[in-house]
Amino acid sequence: MAIFVLVHGAWHGGWCWKRLSPLLRAAGHDVYTPTLTGLGERAHLLTPEVNLRTHIDDIVQVLHYEDLSDVLLVGHSYAGLVISGVADRVPDRLAQLIYLDAYVPRVGENVEEALGPGTYAQLAEQARTTGEGWFLPSPPPGDFGITADADVMWMQERLRPHPLGRQQPPLRLLTTPAAGALARAFIFCTATTQFESYAEWVRTDSAWRYAELAAGHDAMVTAPYELARVLIGLA
């Protein structure tokens, strides 16, 4: 039995794994799907003080209070940054980092560097103009590769603004030797190009395990069976 902790991306919540988690459990694995502060059913906790550090702490506390070890920590999209920060804090609780169509910081990079040239400044400007300076309104479901009418409606009811935080000092990730030594894998969703540069990097690096899914960005919604097979293979 493997232990999966699935960490959702920006604007989402633990709800986004609803179709995937039963498949992993049916295969005999243990699954946790925490929701980050300010999102999903915790949207009422959204404040200007919530930021990446808060979300890293969210997952560290789940691992501690659930007494989890040998965890396969999966981070989707934005949560690639989250799981990297968790690895710095509690590498002894982790067996593998799995980046699902996600941001992947190189060792010691800060968040701005990990996001790529100009991306953080672009997000900050978007927050300034449309999110009171500290949050990002949710894009439509179509931006995540969701096209079926029922899925679009389901997601529209659940996507929430994402906290960017105010005056967030640069946070460097994967700064400890133990974090850098963890096994890691990248799953690239080929129907989108947003994370193609990360895929190109890791697929040629022997330190990484690499897999592809012929799916859009939110593969846990549109291709849960295929994603489950990949994750079980990585376990």
Residue 60, CB half-sphere, CA atoms under 13 Å: how many? Answer: 16
Neighbouring-strand partners of residue 67: none
Is 84 known to be catalytic?
Answer: no
Torsion of CA 139, 143, 149, 153, to 10 degrees: -20
SS3 state at 82: helix
| Catalytic hit among 21, 77, 84, 138 | 77
9 closest CA partner among 70, 81, 63, 65: 81
Q: What are phi and psi of 172, to 5 degrees?
A: -90, 145
Which residues belong to the active site?
A: 77
